[in-house]
């Protein structure tokens, strides 16, 4: 009788331990969301508003700088990341309020939102550029339809 009671108690303790382990990640996610709210990557986000606020002159200069840097041999494939001390962000990009600059890919990550992002994509720049492609800067946001969107912010006349 005593052994059976111990086994039953052991099973219940095991059940509660598993339940606690399953609940812990959920509690951590809720607490992290309260303490450290994730940025938005939807059309109404601050990051999209920031990208749209860049002047035509700044966008033209940005395209030219991305084009020049995409051909440089000394640029890492993953480019530059603000806050990363390994690779200093070049002065041509230092005024930007963005996360990552990837000249070799022809893209700038304006904001990252866990598993989706806001990007400026530079058509005609980087290793994926197609010959004769019209020079454009396209703003991309959202994750799933109907929240995905694109907008051409700049194109060469």
Torsion angles phi and psi, residue 6, rounded to 5: -65, -40
- The pTM (predicted TM-score) of the whole model is 0.75
| Neighbour count for residue 155 (Cβ, 10 Å) | 15
Q: Do the Cβ atoms of 102 and 108 come closer than 8 Å?
A: yes
Long-range contacts, 50-56 (Cβ 8 Å, 24+):
50/97, 50/110, 51/110, 51/118, 51/120, 51/139, 51/153, 52/139, 52/151, 52/153, 54/153, 56/154
Look at residue 42 and tell me whether its pLDDT is greater than 80.
yes
Question: CA angle, corner 85, sides to 82 and 67, nearest 5?
Answer: 50
Burial 37-70 (b: 16+ CB within 10 A, else e): eeebbbbebebbeebeebeeeebeebbebbbebb
Q: pLDDT per residue over 79-131, tens digit each? A: 888 887 777 889 999 999 999 999 999 999 999 887 789 999 999 999 889 98
Look at residue 4 and tell me whether its pLDDT is greater than 60.
no
Q: What pLDDT was estimated at residue 40?
A: 83
Parse the chain into domains and list their residue ranges: 1-37, 46-155
């Amino acid at each position: 009788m005593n052994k059976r009671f111990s086994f039953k108690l052991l099973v219940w303790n095991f059940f509660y331990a598993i339940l606690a382990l399953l609940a812990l990640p959920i509690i951590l996610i809720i607490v992290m969301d309260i303490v450290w709210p994730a940025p938005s990557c939807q059309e109404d986000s601050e990051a999209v508003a920031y990208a749209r606020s860049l002047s035509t002159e700044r966008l033209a200069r940005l395209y030219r700088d991305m084009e020049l840097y995409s051909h440089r041999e000394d640029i890492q494939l993953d480019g530059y990341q603000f806050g990363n001390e390994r690779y200093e962000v070049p002065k041509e990009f230092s005024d930007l309020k963005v996360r990552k600059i990837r000249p070799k890919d022809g893209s700038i990550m304006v904001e990252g939102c866990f598993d989706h992002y806001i990007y400026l994509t530079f058509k005609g720049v980087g290793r994926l550029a197609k010959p004769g492609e019209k020079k454009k800067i396209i703003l991309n946001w959202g994750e799933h339809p109907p929240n995905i969107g694109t907008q051409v912010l700049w194109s060469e006349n």
